[in-house]
Amino acid sequence: MRIPFIAGNWKMHKTVREAVETATALKTVVAAVEIVDIVLCPPFTALGDVGRAIAGSNLELGAQDMHWEPQGAYTGEISGPMLWELGCTYVILGHSERRHHFHETDDEVARKVQAAFAQELLPILCVGETLEERDAGRTEDVIERQVRAAVAELDAVALPRLVVAYEPVWAIGTGRSATGGEANRVSALIRQWLGQAVGGPSADETRVLYGGSVTPENIAEFIGQPEIDGALVGGASLNSEAFAAIVLAAAGGP
């Protein structure tokens, strides 16, 4: 059985004080939730304090990116061992904002995925097509390429620990989400490509999330789909009440 998974990506938002306030408020509201993996991904600067604020709770810590080398002359970068030391369990990799604003390539994302596993960090691998690619009928080609490249060097035992987020770029931060049916279809394909790329049935255990303008109002449409196991939430995760409502919906509650 795949356990539902809800992650909040705070992007470049919140000072340390604001991040701790939001995490602390959220912790109380979702304390009774047992069957959902709930992950907060604050900016690097707030990881340590948020980690301490949620210690002993049912919330887990994730980072938003990492470098593929464990150390070295890479000014401004953060490595896997540094994230692990701060208590991170997860790390978002290949987010479309990294691919587009910072020109991250499929090859770099693949190196980061391998480096994360080597450091016992679990990747939340993001894939998704732009509006231009979608309009050109290239959605499947683009996502298949992104998925296969990212897992090219992995073996089947890694797949149950990998989380993939399908995030159509045109749906991120736009208020225009994909339909549940569309996201479900792509999620099934992602699992199929994962299985083909590494061999064996272990892709059945990979959690596939939907991301892109998820809100308390539309989460049911996604979580109700058989191939979708949860959501990667940006804007709505900044508010503890909105994010808690999404978590509770994923838990099957009110």
CB of 8 to ligand PGA, least distance (A): 9
- Residue number of the CB closest to ligand PGA reads 234
- Which is nearer to ligand PGA, 80 or 216 (by Cβ)? 216
Q: Do 6 and 38 form a contact (C-beta atoms < 8 A)?
A: yes
Task: Single out the catalytic residue among 60, 67, 95, 108.
Answer: 95
- Write the CA distances from 173 to 6, 117, 235, 236, integer angstroms: 17, 29, 7, 10
- Which is nearer to ligand PGA, 162 or 198 (by Cβ)? 162
Q: How far is the C-alpha of 180 from the C-alpha of 224, rounded, in Å?
A: 8
Q: How far is the C-alpha of 177 from the C-alpha of 169, rounded, in Å?
A: 10
Q: Which residues bind ligand PGA (CB under 6 A)?
A: 9, 167, 172-173, 211-214, 232-236
CB of 11 to ligand PGA, least distance (A): 7
CB of 18 to ligand PGA, least distance (A): 17
Task: Single out the catalytic residue among 60, 97, 133, 167.
Answer: 167
Q: Is 34 a catalytic residue?
A: no
**Going by C-beta distance under 8 Å and a sequence separation of 6 or more, which residues neighbour residue 134?**
168, 170
CB of 201 to ligand PGA, least distance (A): 28
Specify the amino acid at residue 11.
K
- Which is nearer to ligand PGA, 19 or 197 (by Cβ)? 19
Q: Is 85 a catalytic residue?
A: no
- Which is nearer to ligand PGA, 80 or 235 (by Cβ)? 235
**Going by C-beta distance under 8 Å and a sequence separation of 6 or more, which residues neighbour residue 73?**
none
Question: At which residue do the structure tokens 């369990």 appear?
Answer: 89
Catalytic residue list? 95, 167
